[in-house]
Amino acid sequence: MTSQASMTARSAPDAPMAGSRRDGIVRPPAGGAEAAWLDRVTLARGGRIVLRDVSFALETGEFVGMLGPNGAGKTTLMRAMLGLVPAAQGELRVLGARPVRGNPAIGYMPQSRAAAGGARLSGREFVSGVVRGHRWGLPMLNRDGRREVDWALDMVGGRDLADRPLLDLSGGERQRLLLAQALIGRPRLLLLDEPLMSLDVHHQRSVVDLVRAVQRELRMTVLFSAHELNPLLGQLDRVLYLGGGHAAIGTVAEVITGPVLSRLYGSPIDVVHVRGRVFVMSGNNDAERDAYRQDGHRQDGHFHDGQAHGRHGDA
């Protein structure tokens, strides 16, 4: 636990709760250099407040993992950055400007749903549909458009998926195509919503490695939401933890600690390190077994920290 755990940590070393009022407000520096910058932002979804008075900044070119239980506001935060959800309060800047819908500098990979339309279409058509997809006209691409699709497919190593129908692709292969879609338009900020959902451990790791490689090559800022920290370990620059309406940001060593997470949830949390992996335990409960029961399956002994906290921080 160090004092750099968040923007607010300088004034309240033991309480790195980014932007929370009770910690005393320290505004993040209001520059144009940050990829995203939030000042006391409150976000609501369906009339319920999911994030309250949150302040933090994403530095340009960093890979930030966003963790937190279901309903913590991970998707809502991304939708706010995309200009799809207005901030109830506070100020939000993305790439130096207020969020506007249709900003081509922001790439977005929504949570994939099993039964998307066009499952019989080829991988290439799936990616091509995004190129200038918001403009009126016929769905035919010119040479520049086709080159853009080739580029995006090459970035994710997906040339071999181009001619196969989506129906025939594995979950990991589909994630590569979804990433290629998000890269269309050459964004500077990439928002990836739960790309590891329903992948096994091996595929989770290769998706994280792929995103990291693409992020470094294109010098993008990446916000990557996940249920579980372990697949991201080693590739993250910083971690943004949402819970109980609050946010904490910092390196893994700074944020994923008992005191920080306990404060975030308002209940005792223990963090256990086992052979290079991190497990988040809630209080005295056998959180692993609890998570197993709620989740129905475990992956390689990894523990879904999100599920374990569901009953504490359902906001």
Give the residue, chosen from 43, 50, 155, 169, that forms a contact with another protein under the rule CB under 8 A.
169
Q: Is 203 in the site for another protein (CB under 8 A)?
A: yes
Q: Please, which of residues 251-310 interact with another protein by CB under 8 A?
A: none
Residue 245 beta carbon to another protein: minimum distance, rounded to whole angstroms? 24
Query: Starting at the edge strand that comes first in sequence, how are the strands of the sheet with 106-109 ordered?
Result: 106-109, 189-192, 221-225, 63-67, 238-243, 246-250
Choices 11-19, 23-31, 80-88, 220-228 (CB under 8 A): range interacting with another protein = 80-88
Hey, what are 237's tokens?
């620059």
Q: Is 180 in the site for another protein (CB under 8 A)?
A: no
The conformation of residue 60, written as its DSSP 8-state character, comes to T
Q: Is 140 in the site for another protein (CB under 8 A)?
A: yes
Hey, what are 268's tokens?
């005792």
Hey, what are 160's tokens?
């071999």
Give the residue, chosen from 51, 57, 58, 106, that forms a contact with another protein under the rule CB under 8 A.
106
CB atoms < 10 A from the CB of 125, how many?
16
Q: Is 181 in the site for another protein (CB under 8 A)?
A: yes
- Per-residue H/E/C for 211-277: HHHHHHHHCCEEEEECCCCHHHCCCCCEEEEEECCEEEEECHHHHCCHHHHHHHHCCCEEEEEECCE
Give the residue, chosen from 39, 173, 228, 305, that forms a contact with another protein under the rule CB under 8 A.
173
Residue 59 beta carbon to another protein: minimum distance, rounded to whole angstroms? 23
Residue 239 beta carbon to another protein: minimum distance, rounded to whole angstroms? 24
Q: Is 114 in the site for another protein (CB under 8 A)?
A: no
User: 29 and 39 in contact (C-beta within 8 Å)?
Assistant: no
From the number of C-beta atoms within 10 Å of its C-beta (0-12, 13-18, 19+), residue 42 rates as: middle
Interacting residues with another protein (CB under 8 A): 79, 82-84, 101-102, 104, 106, 108-111, 115-118, 120-122, 125-126, 128-130, 132-140, 163-165, 167-170, 172-173, 176, 181-182, 185, 202-203, 206
